[in-house]
C-alpha cells in the first residue's frame, strides 16, 4: 500500500472494542478485541465504528470501517466489516470505493434488524471529484437498500463524511442523516450542509443549514441523532467545527427538530479557545434518566490546565441545552486528543446511558499515538468540578502550509482547508447514533472502544491539523 501524503502523519490504529458489565465503579473488564481480517499497514482499521443488532440475535453487532485498505489491487479503496457481537466472528464484508469513513446502524427497512449506513465522501460522482455518496445495506444479508446522493451536486462536497440513523418522521423506520461539510452554500465556500433522507424510499425530507452562515464553517462535520425534545421523533445534532464564536474559530453544535427542522438550541464550549475544534464528535442519548436525550460533545483540541491539545468532552441537557458535566482524561497528555470520538450506551446495566470517550493521541505503554478510550458512568451524581481555562489568544501560532505540503487532491480523511489566519491543515473521527455523571472511570483500554447503539471511531495518529480540515 502506498499511503496518501497525509498518512505520513498517522499510525495504524488497532481497535479494541469493549462493553463492560460492571459490579463496581472501579472494575475493568475487556470483552472484545477486534483485528482486521486482512491486516495491512496504514489501513486504519477502526476509523469508524457503529454498533447495533444486525442479525437479530438480541446482541449488538459491530461494524468497523477501514478507509485505507487495499482491495483487489486498488490502493486505499477501503472496506467495512461487520462482526458478531456474540462471538466476534465475521458476519459479512461491505465493499465500495472510499468505504470506511463513517458508519451508522439503525433499522431502516422495518425488519427489526439494524441496517448499516456507510458514507463514502471521496467517491467521484459523474464528473464531480470527491462529491461523495452514502449507501444503506441490509443488516440481515448485506444487500444494498439505498444509494444516496447530495441534492446539490458539486466537486469536493465530501457528502457522506458523517452519517446518522434515526426515526425523525415517526413512521417506524430509521431515516438517514448525511453530512456534506465542504459543500459551498450561497457563495460561502465550505460552509457545509446536512440532509435527512427517508429510510422508506430515500427521498429528501430535510435540508439543514447553519443558522450562522459563514465561509469554512464546516457545518455537517459530525452528526448524531436522538429524541431531545421528547416528542417521540428523533432530533439531529450537527457539528460545525470552524464556526466563529465571539471572535474565536472555536466551533459550535446545533440541535434541530427532526419533526420540522427548526433549531432547538445552540451549544458552545464553556471554555472558549481558538481552534478548539468543539463538536468534532457528537453522541446523543439520555444520560440522566429524564426521558429526553442529552448531547455529548467532543472538543478534541482544547488546551486543559496548560496542556496543549489535551482535549475535553462535555455533556449538555437535552431538556434545556445547559451544561451537565465536563469530562477530562484520567491520563493528561500533550496531544492526547481526548474527545476524538464519542459513544453512548448503557454499559453497566443501570438503565442510564454511559459515555465512551476516545483519546486517539494518547501514548500507551511507550507507544506514541496508540490511543485509548474511556467509559464513564451516567447517572444522577454530583459532577466533579473542573477548573476553567484561560481562553487561548486568537493569535496563537498554528501550523503553516510549509509544515505539511498541500496535496494536489484532498488528502486522507478530510481534505484541506484555509485555516485562520493562514495555515493549511489536514482527518476524521467517527462520526459517521444527566443531571450528572460519575467521574469514576469504569473502563480504560488501549486502541478504541464502542458501547451499544452509537458509533465510536478511534485509533491512528493525528496532529491538531487532523481536526482542522
Mean pLDDT across 300-326: 93
What is the model's pLDDT at position 18?
Answer: 35
Check pLDDT > 50 for residue 186: yes
Residue (of 262, 159, 148) closest to 211 by Cα position: 262
Is residue 454 within 8 A of residue 224, CB to CB? The reply is yes
Average pLDDT, the chain: 73
CA distances from residue 198 to 115, 162, 192, 229, 407 in whole angstroms, order as listed: 14, 17, 21, 21, 36
Answer yes or no: is pLDDT of 66 > 80: no
Query: Highest mean pLDDT range out of 5-9, 152-156, 361-365?
Result: 152-156
Work out the average pLDDT over 10-15: 32
Chain Cα centroid distance, residue 341? 5
Q: Which residues contact 436 (CB under 8 A, 6 or more apart)?
A: 288, 324, 325, 379, 380, 381, 382, 383
What is the per-residue pLDDT for 466? 38
Q: What percent of the chain stands above pLDDT 70?
A: 67
Name the DSSP letter for residue 352.
Answer: S
What pLDDT is recorded for position 169? 86
Given a contact cutoff of 8 angstroms between Cβ atoms, the answer to whether 250 and 227 are in contact is no
Mean pLDDT of 249-253: 94
pLDDT at 380 (0 to 100) = 56
Task: Please state the pTM of the whole predicted model.
Answer: 0.71
Summarize pLDDT for 258-276 with one digit per residue, the tens: 999 999 999 999 999 999 9
Task: Specify the 3-state DSSP secondary structure of 226.
Answer: strand
Strands ordered across the beta sheet of 193-197 = 159-166, 175-180, 193-197, 204-208
Rg of the chain over Cα atoms, rounded to whole angstroms, equals: 19
User: Are 253 and 279 in contact, with CB atoms under 8 Å apart?
Assistant: yes
What beta strand segments (E) does 360-429 contain?
372-378, 417-419, 423-425
CA distances from 420 to 188, 243, 244, 298, 398 (A): 15, 11, 10, 21, 8
Residue 23 near residue 14, CB atoms below 8 Å:
no
Amino acid at each position: 500500500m502506498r499511503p496518501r501524503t497525509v498518512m505520513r502523519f498517522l499510525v495504524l490504529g488497532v481497535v479494541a472494542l469493549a462493553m463492560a458489565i460492571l459490579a463496581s465503579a472501579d472494575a475493568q473488564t475487556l470483552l472484545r478485541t477486534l483485528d482486521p481480517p486482512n491486516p495491512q499497514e496504514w489501513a486504519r482499521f477502526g476509523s469508524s465504528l457503529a454498533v447495533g443488532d444486525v442479525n437479530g440475535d438480541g446482541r449488538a453487532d459491530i461494524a468497523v470501517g477501514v478507509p485505507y485498505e487495499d482491495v483487489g489491487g486498488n490502493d486505499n479503496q477501503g472496506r467495512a466489516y461487520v462482526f458478531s457481537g456474540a462471538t466476534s466472528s465475521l458476519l459479512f464484508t461491505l465493499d465500495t470505493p472510499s468505504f470506511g469513513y463513517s458508519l451508522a446502524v439503525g433499522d431502516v427497512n422495518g425488519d427489526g434488524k439494524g441496517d448499516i449506513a456507510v458514507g463514502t465522501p471521496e467517491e467521484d460522482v459523474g464528473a464531480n471529484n470527491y462529491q461523495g455518496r452514502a449507501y444503506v445495506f441490509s443488516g440481515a444479508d448485506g444487500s444494498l437498500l439505498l444509494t444516496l446522493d447530495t441534492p446539490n451536486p458539486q466537486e469536493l462536497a465530501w457528502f457522506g463524511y458523517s452519517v446518522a440513523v434515526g426515526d425523525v418522521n415517526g413512521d417506524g423506520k430509521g431515516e438517514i442523516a448525511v453530512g456534506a461539510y465542504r459543500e459551498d452554500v450561497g457563495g460561502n465556500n465550505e460552509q457545509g450542509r446536512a440532509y435527512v433522507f427517508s429510510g422508506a424510499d430515500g427521498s429528501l425530507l430535510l435540508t439543514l443549514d447553519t443558522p450562522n452562515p459563514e465561509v469554512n464553517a464546516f457545518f455537517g462535520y459530525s452528526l448524531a441523532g436522538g429524541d431531545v425534545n421528547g416528542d417521540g421523533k428523533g432530533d439531529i445534532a450537527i457539528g460545525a467545527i470552524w464556526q466563529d464564536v465571539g471572535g474565536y474559530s472555536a466551533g459550535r453544535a446545533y440541535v434541530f427538530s427532526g419533526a420540522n427542522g427548526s433549531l432547538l438550541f445552540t451549544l458552545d464550549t464553556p471554555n472558549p479557545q481558538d481552534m478548539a475544534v468543539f463538536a468534532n464528535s457528537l453522541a446523543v442519548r439520555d444520560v440522566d434518566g429524564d426521558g429526553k436525550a442529552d448531547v455529548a460533545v467532543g472538543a478534541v483540541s482544547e488546551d486543559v490546565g496548560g496542556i496543549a491539545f489535551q482535549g475535553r468532552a462535555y455533556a449538555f441537557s437535552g431538556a434545556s441545552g445547559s451544561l451537565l458535566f465536563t469530562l477530562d482524561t484520567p491520563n493528561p497528555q500533550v496531544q492526547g486528543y481526548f474527545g476524538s470520538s464519542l459513544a453512548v450506551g448503557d454499559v453497566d446495566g443501570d438503565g442510564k446511558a454511559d459515555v465512551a470517550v476516545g483519546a486517539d493521541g494518547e501514548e500507551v505503554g511507550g507507544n506514541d499515538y496508540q490511543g485509548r478510550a474511556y467509559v464513564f458512568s451516567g447517572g444522577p451524581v454530583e459532577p466533579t468540578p473542573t477548573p476553567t481555562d484561560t481562553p487561548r489568544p486568537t493569535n496563537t501560532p498554528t501550523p503553516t502550509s510549509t509544515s505539511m505540503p498541500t496535496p494536489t487532491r484532498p488528502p486522507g480523511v478530510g481534505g484541506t482547508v484555509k485555516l485562520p489566519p493562514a495555515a493549511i491543515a489536514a482527518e476524521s473521527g467517527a462520526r459517521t447514533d444527566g443531571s450528572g455523571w460519575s467521574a469514576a472511570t469504569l473502563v480504560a483500554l488501549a486502541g478504541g472502544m464502542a458501547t451499544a447503539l452509537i458509533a465510536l471511531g478511534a485509533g491512528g495518529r493525528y496532529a491538531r491539523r487532523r481536526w482542522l480540515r
